[in-house]
Amino acid sequence: MEKRRLGQTDMYVNMVGLGCMGLSHASGTPVAREEAIHILQEAHHIGYDLYDTAECYTGIYPDGSISHNEEIVGEAVKNFRDEIVLCTKFGVTHKGNHLELDSSPQKIRESIEGSLKRLQTNYIDIYYQHRIDPQVEPEIVAGVMKELIQEGKIKAWGISEVNEDYLRRAHAICPVTVIQNRYSMMARWHEHLINVCQELGITYIAFSPLANGALTGAYHSQADFKDDKQDFRRNMPQYSETGMIKTNQLLKIVSELAKKYNATNAQISLAWMLSKFDNLIPIPGSRKIDRLASNFAAGNIHLSYEDIEIIDYQLEHMEFEVFGGH
């Protein structure tokens, strides 16, 4: 599989990365610790070499104890730590039904030490500002990142859910290696930022590249998730009655191409963005090892220019209700 460079660094990774969040957070009751560790280790055998987590990815086990995603990832990768690019994030705390944002220098310093401990490592390859903190200017955050790089605690940094102005201001102080924003066939509002990243030599990491599972075709309504209060998908608009009508219209097009390429809906969805942009890496996640393997194999599928045009033409004439939409 072709490797892609992360920004202007000497780090190169396979074309499909691994989003680890769903093992602990937002996709239902957390996977049992030992099972989650096994899944993450199997992912390495499959070929994944970019692992993405965050300090705020937590969930509650049936016994009431807390599942810390960073701790699980750290335990899983400790024997092959230097063979992967390990990414985590700071600046967000979940407070009930809202996010508390804090990217103050003091909080960043506290967060990096906590993450290093939970991840069982003495350095983080990519350290993300998880969300923009309106109380802290980008120049301040970038200045702290520059210090952490000089101290050897991180190799590079990135920003998640960033806009162009904030990105350019931060990049001018300390070069940004990656950004991580939502992107999928159903969520294309950040597409202009991919071109900005091309200009600046930054890699675009696409989270939720399968629209929180909608583009797999495996789910049919919000009822699929109603039994688990920790599964955020039960309230996502793409799984509402009207949302599923639009989702299924798109899946009809995707499934036709899947037949042509002998691929799954998910693989076509990932191959579409990989074929469109050479500075983009999607980070799908799954609790099932066979789906991890299938998603990873999408990096070996190359859609023709004509097929990309067909998809893009259809997308221009479709509107979707999707979580995180504008």
Instruction: Determine contact, residues 6/126, Cβ cutoff 8 Å.
Output: yes
If you count them, how many residues does the chain have?
326
Radius of gyration of the chain (CA): 19
User: Containing H/E element for 178?
Assistant: strand 178-182
Nearest-CA neighbor of 87 among 40, 154, 30?
154
CA distance 260 to 265: 11
Amino acid at 294: S
Q: Is 48 annotated in the active site?
A: no
Quote the CA–CA distance of 279 and 218 in Å, as a whole number.
29
CA proximity to 122, closest of 110, 112, 130, 107: 112
Residue 102, both tokens: 């804090």
Non-local CB neighbours of 211 within 8 Å, separated by 6+ positions: 184, 185, 186, 187, 238, 247, 320, 322, 323
Measured from the Cβ of residue 261, the count of other Cβ atoms closer than 10 Å reads 16
107-115 long-range CB contacts below 8 Å, 24 or more apart? 108/141, 108/144, 108/148, 109/144, 111/55, 112/148, 112/153, 112/154, 114/55, 115/55, 115/70, 115/88, 115/90
Cα–Cα dist 217/210, whole Å: 10
Q: In whole angstroms, what is the distance from residue 79 CA to residue 61 CA?
A: 26
Catalytic residue among 12, 48, 51, 57: 57
Pairing of strands 203-207, 280-282: parallel
Q: What residues are annotated to the active site?
A: 57
